[in-house]
Chain A
Amino acid sequence: MRLLGAQIITEVLLDHGVDTVFGYPGGAALNVYDQLYKYRDKIKHIMTAHEQGASHAADGYYRATGKTGVVFATSGPGATNLVTGLATANMDSIPMIAITSNVPDAFIGRDAFQEICITGITMPVTKHNFFINNIAELEDTLRLAFKIANSGRKGPVLIDITKDVTADSHEFENKKPLDLKEDPKADDKTVSEIANIINGAKRPVIYFGGGVTASDACEEMAEFIEKADIPATYTLMAAGVIGYDNPKNLGLIGMHGTISSNHAIDKADLILAMGTRFSDRVALNPQNFGKKANIVQIDIDRSEIDKNVSVDKSCICDIKDFLNKILPMVNRTEHKNWMRQIGEWKDREKIKEPDDGKLHPKMIMETICDKTDKDTIYVTDVGQHQMWAAQYIKHKNTKKFLTSGGLGTMGYGYGAAIGAQIGKMDSRVIHITGDGSFHMNLNEAATAVTENIPIITVILNNSVLGMVYQWQTLFYESRYSSTVPRRKTDYVKLAEGFGLRGYRAENKEELHEAFEKALLEDGPVWIECIIPKEERVLPMIPGGGNVEDMIVG
């Protein structure tokens, strides 16, 4: 069957089960968009306000559904606007297919209108990218892109296609989706050696990350923790893998991690690092991280072994495979003394916010949790609110906490929330943001209104760029360089201007009332919560510091 290049694109998408895409049209993408129009009953295209929003939407769509997100953009600025979204996905190992159109091949290299070498620009922020100026390569390349994005450690793949290729025609071979590359298998001998180490440990702790989410190993993880009686701490990327009320859940690790998790790592005799990469926000001082412990690392990506922290033993494999193999080998045991010690640390974690009639971060997060169910998806932006959400949301479920972990992309939230809601129309989506992050990409309100999707955006407004402000307070003698913008944004009016409902809350009662009303709306809602600018994210270990440097209150 002979098809146009643009139609080969849509056909390959259908082959891979793609029924939703995000993007923004443009001159070079006209042929592609003409096909998307013709395929509109099979592929739903969500047009965002800005390509960056579309890229975050494709990312959020995957994180919520597990289905690869697809984003389209035109050449030049359309393509460059994807860069932050691709980098965000790349840092968090999120599969994504970005399809950009470029100027016709005859104009390539001549600085044509809206010409950009997007493959050159995105080389460091994608898992791989392709430039297609020959239609004969189109079908195979698109299929290969899906394979690369989803194999092993996942990541975004960009395909840049010249406009003439999209208009050209070629035989469509209608091959099947390619099989994914086989994951490395857990070596039996290594697993049994690790099991022996675990069975001999007195003070073991598990530290896991996004790899557990990526390999869908939550049940196995919970069973492992239970059977071997090992307390577990996790990174931002793995919130929700184990329930907030699991007694062995130590909470977040690292810079803003809990007292118990950071002390447990420091005193442990065994650390099992699973699907995680000892980032500088976790192993703040890599030389001292878990210095009394035997460190065992399990990861699918060989290059993560010994990258930031040297480990004593490693196993290169998928986490689920590892857990399934090791579960029968570990003894059902109890670490009574160790758990008692952990309990003492946990007792020091009770946080009490002032009862002064004002709104405070923990109170806001608890209110949100009380009014939403276990299927709710919480999406954050980046900054203080993100840390409070990670700390205080009662995480019950995996794939329900969407956040830019590695890149820390302010402005990630609204786009990602749209992607999540489009992918999970039956789930409630709460977008938690700060006034700083929200100002970056609040234009996506227009998209939420067009699609009439009931995302509730909760804006924690402290009128400053809180996280940087906090650092300036602590380490720069309160010189608030460019963190106090003195904006006069009226969120209620602005919401109205976008065609959605906005509320403002200054105390608990107003928040309750606004949230109840928001839950009844069919479309998007904003709730502005006024909080004091002095609120801090605590505990905190300053960058490069040790557990002894922890600031608790």
Chain B
Amino acid sequence: MRDMQIKKEVVSVFVQNQANVLTRVVSLFGRRGYNIDSLTVSATNNPEISRITIVFNVTDSSLKQILTQTEKLEVVEDTFVLESENSVYRELLLVKVEAKDDNRGKIKEIVEIYRGKIIDLSQESMIIELTGVTEKIDGLLKLLEKYKILDVCRTGVTGLSRGN
């Protein structure tokens, strides 16, 4: 019987660095019925290889299925699962919040507790930068809900496995 327990997974897909590669991988996920939560694409230390990091919800048996299907793509060199126990994940947040004289200090205090950075400041608003795991970013956003959030941008998760 299929294992129906749905779990959030982070997978790394190493692909050849050429045109249309992202489309091939993402369209495979789409047409096989997998909904992607977040996606990052980046260069690696090998200029011919890019890394796609995909976060999605999946059962164990479907995880194996989508990975073996992905490995069949001619442009895919390798895939692996970034297990939460032995990987580090990071996400970058940029959030613009309304900040005037009366609340600028309070927001700054929150940002400092989260070890975020204020990277832009104007009379009416500020932009905060925060790097961390998804939960930390969710946490900051939750606290900022009290204020007026004007714009949010998150990169989605990227990650590496620890050690060797």
Contact = CB atoms under 8 A, between A and B. Distances in A.
Contacts of B68: 302-303, 305
Nearest to B74: A128
Interface in B14-33: 19-20, 23-24, 27, 31
Given A148-B74, A287-B1, A302-B71, A123 B27 contact: yes
A303 B32 CA distance: 12
Contacts, number: 31
B155 interface: no
Interface string B146-161: 0000000000000000
A124 B31 contact: yes
A140 interface: no
A127 B2 CA distance: 28
Interface in A100-143: 119-120, 123-124, 127-128, 131
Nearest to B69: A303
B61 interface: yes
Contacts of B20: 119, 123, 131
Interface string B44-84: 00000000000000000100110011011110000000000
Query: In which size bucket is the chain B interface?
Result: 10 to 19
A127 B28 CA distance: 12
A517 interface: no
Interface residues of A, number: 16
A187 interface: no
Nearest to A128: B74
B61 A306 contact: yes
Given A306-B64, A306-B65, A310-B1, A123 B74 contact: no
Contacts of B61: 306, 310
Given A124-B27, A148-B74, A307 B65 contact: yes
Nearest to B24: A123
A128 B72 CA distance: 10
Contact of B72 (A119, A303, A310): A303
Given A303-B65, A303-B72, A123 B23 contact: yes
A301 interface: yes
Q: Report which residue of A120, A123, A131 has the largest number of chain B beta carbons within 10 angstroms of its beta carbon.
A: A123
Contacts of B64: 306
A320 to B, nearest CB: 21
Q: Give the secondary structure class of A's interface.
A: mixed
A303 B72 CA distance: 8
A287 B73 CA distance: 29
A177 B20 CA distance: 26
Nearest to A301: B72
A148 B71 CA distance: 14
A191 B84 CA distance: 35
Contact of A310 (B2, B27, B71, B74): B2
Nearest to B73: A128
Contacts of A302: 68, 71
Interface in B67-111: 68-69, 71-74
Contacts of B2: 310
A157 to B, nearest CB: 9
Interface string A292-310: 0000000001110111001
A292 to B, nearest CB: 15
Contacts of A128: 73-74
Contacts of B69: 303
Contacts of A131: 19-20
Nearest to A151: B74
Contacts of A148: 74
Q: Which of B1, B65, B71 has the most chain A CB within a 10 Å cutoff?
A: B65
Contacts of A310: 1-2, 61
A302 B20 CA distance: 24
Contacts of B1: 287, 310
A305 B64 CA distance: 9
Contacts of A307: 65
Q: What are the nearest 9 A-B pairs in CB distance?
A: A303-B68, A128-B74, A302-B68, A303-B69, A124-B31, A307-B65, A303-B72, A148-B74, A123-B27
Given A123-B27, A306-B65, A310-B1, 10 more contacts: A123-B24, A131-B20, A287-B1, A303-B65, A303-B68, A303-B69, A303-B72, A306-B61, A306-B64, A310-B61
22 contacts: A119-B20, A120-B23, A123-B20, A123-B24, A123-B27, A124-B27, A124-B31, A127-B74, A128-B73, A131-B20, A301-B72, A302-B68, A303-B68, A303-B69, A303-B71, A305-B68, A306-B61, A306-B64, A306-B65, A310-B1, A310-B2, A310-B61
